[in-house]
Amino acid sequence: MGGFLEDLFGKIFKGSESAPVNHKENFTIKDQDWRELKIWEETEEAKDLMALIFKNIHLKKAGIAGKPQVHNFESRYANGFAITYDEPLDSKSFSNLFLAFSQRVIDLGYKQISLDRKLEEINQQVKVTEKFYFKPPLQKPTENELISQLYGNISLEKITIDNQPSYLKFLATVYSDRLFQNAKPFDQLLDRLFNIA
C-alpha cells in the first residue's frame, strides 16, 4: 500500500516517473457530509441550481447551451446527462449535487449496490472517478407477470482531474431481457430526480 501512495503523491505533485496510477477502492460518505447536504438542499441556492440544470437539460435537447453546460445521452438502452463544472457551480455545490442525486435515486425505491473511487493516470493527469451504482428492487415475479425494472440500472459519477472538479454523469441503463417490463420513461425519471412532478 505504501508503494501505491508514493506513486499517487508522486503523480499529483509531478515528481515521479514510475508506472501510471490505476487503483480502485470502495469508500463511504461521511455523516457530516450527509448532514450538510440536508441543510444545503433547503437553501434557495440549491433549489435555483436544480431548476437551472433541469432547464439546461431541456434547452440542450433544442440545441441551446447554457451554464452550467450539460450533455444529453440518448439511445435505446441508455439515457442520461452530464453536467460540466462551470458557473454557477463551485466545488461544494458540485459535491452536493452528486450526493443529492444519489439520495433522490434511493427515494425512488432503488438499492445502492456500490460506491467506489477509481484513481487513474491519463496523459500526465490524475483522474478520480467516484461512482454510485444503483439497481431497482428486484423481486421474484408472480406467475405470468413481468419484473418491474423502474427506469433500469442507474450509475452516478463525479469526475475530478488533478483534484479539480470536471463533470457529473448520470446514466440509466435499461434491461432488454424479456423477463422485465419495459422501463418507465426517462423524462419521468428526470422530473422525479429534479422534484418537478
7 assigned to some structural domain? no
4 assigned to some structural domain? no
Q: At residue 48, does pLDDT exceed 90?
A: yes
Q: What is the mean predicted confidence (pLDDT) over 168-178? A: 93
d(CA 34, CA 95): 11
Split into its structural domains, the chain has a count of: 1
Backbone phi and psi for residue 110, each to the nearest 5 degrees, phi listed first: -80, 155
Residue 46 confidence (pLDDT): 96
Q: Is 72 within 8 Å of 81 (Cβ atoms)?
A: yes
99 assigned to some structural domain? yes
16 assigned to some structural domain? no
3 assigned to some structural domain? no
**Confidence grade of residue 139 (pLDDT, cut at 50, 70, 90):** confident
Q: What is the mean predicted confidence (pLDDT) over 60-71? A: 94
Q: At residue 177, does pLDDT exceed 90?
A: no
**Confidence grade of residue 4 (pLDDT, cut at 50, 70, 90):** low
Residue 1 confidence (pLDDT): 45
46 assigned to some structural domain? yes
Q: What is the pLDDT of residues 88-101, one digit of tens each?
A: 999 999 999 999 99
10 assigned to some structural domain? no
Q: At residue 40, does pLDDT exceed 70?
A: yes
Q: Is 66 within 8 Å of 77 (Cβ atoms)?
A: no
Residue 140 confidence (pLDDT): 74
For residue 89, give its domain range. Answer: 22-193
**143/113: higher pLDDT:** 113
Backbone Cα Rg of the chain: 19
List CB contacts of 66: < 8 A, sequence separation 6 or more: 52, 55, 56, 59, 60
Instruction: Give the range among 121-125, 140-144, 149-153 with minimum mean pLDDT.
Output: 140-144
Residue 5 confidence (pLDDT): 53
**Confidence grade of residue 154 (pLDDT, cut at 50, 70, 90):** very high
**Confidence grade of residue 147 (pLDDT, cut at 50, 70, 90):** confident
Is the Cα dihedral 33, 34, 36, 41 positive or negative? positive
